[in-house]
Structure 1
């Protein structure tokens, strides 16, 4: 029977997990707790931060871009998730949202309006705006997306 150093095993396992995708320090801490590694979790997270396996700024930027482009979230919802689910500081959240282009946000809002109109073609525009607000979009962006989708087709891109 071979004895395995549990600390080294968990350390290599968490490094491999972090190398596969961007992770927040909070995600890493939760994963370590799930593996029963409560005592050395903070030290291991600090080591991973030093070694570059975990970088809050890099994670926040990737998270913001992915959730706006792929999931259709608005900046408000992204900011709330980064702050509360991932325990990110305000300046990191602001930096991450600054990396998201206004065109990406507008396109995500337009996609959400199109999707909503497919399911509810005769819905009141105010209701559609409410849906967008709950997805984290600003009022101006929500209104612009609803107006752009209701307007007759023009030459060139509108939404």
Structure 2
């Protein structure tokens, strides 16, 4: 692999950041793959952040909106994905709290209704179990799932 200079790396990564939203961690990983030394990586990241090519706050806002609106992920899955990208928990919580609860629950109800149409056989108890597992895999909280499958918490724990 050809060695890349610091200025070439800056140019390439600036183009990478201008074509789509990326967090600091993603950019840092890309720079590490290019075998740049830590000081060069630090200088490049500082330059990118000062020129707002990289902004974890902006990235988090876009990520949450995309995962809610397009991927139909729940808050737990979104939070975990952002944590894996080394986004600060305060930033994550800030944008998760901005999610409209009524729209969020409506999305979950719609997902559950769509999934219910595809589930084959079994009694109502088995169907509800499959729906709950499906919604959990999408990253929704159990209390929200219970509300949307028509059960109250106390019915599940009797």
TM-score scaled by structure 2? 0.80
Deviations 1:25-74 (A, max 9, x none): 00001111222324311221122111111111110111111111111110
> In the alignment, what sits opposite 1:52?
52
Q: Which residue of 2 aligns with 1:150?
A: none
Matched, 1:130 2:129: no
Q: How far is 1:115 from its partner?
A: 3.4
Distance 1:103 1:121 in 2: 29
Q: What SS does structure 2 have at the residue aligned with 1:70? A: helix
Alpha carbons 2:116, 2:127 under 8 Å: kept? no
Q: Are residue 14 (structure 1) and residue 13 (structure 2) matched? A: yes
Partner of 1:63: 63
1-side partners of 2:28 and 2:111: how far apart? 34
CA deviation after TM superposition for structure 1 residue 119, in Å: 2.4
1:1-159 to structure 2, matched below 5 A, reads 6-39=5-38, 40-83=40-83, 85-122=84-121, 123-147=126-150
Answer whether contact 1:72 1:111 (CA < 8 A) is retained: no
- Matched length: 143
Q: After alignment, is 48-57 or 106-115 more displaced?
A: 106-115
Alignment RMSD: 2.1
Q: TM-score, normalised by structure 1?
A: 0.79
Which range moved further: 99-108 or 72-81?
Answer: 99-108
Gaps of 5+ in 1: 148-159
State whether residues 119 and 127 of structure 2, in contact with CA within 8 Å, keep that contact through their aligned partners in structure 1. no
Shift of 1:98: 1.9
Change (3 A) 1:143 1:34: same
Q: 1:34 to 1:103 in 2, by over 3 A?
A: farther
SS at match of 1:124: helix
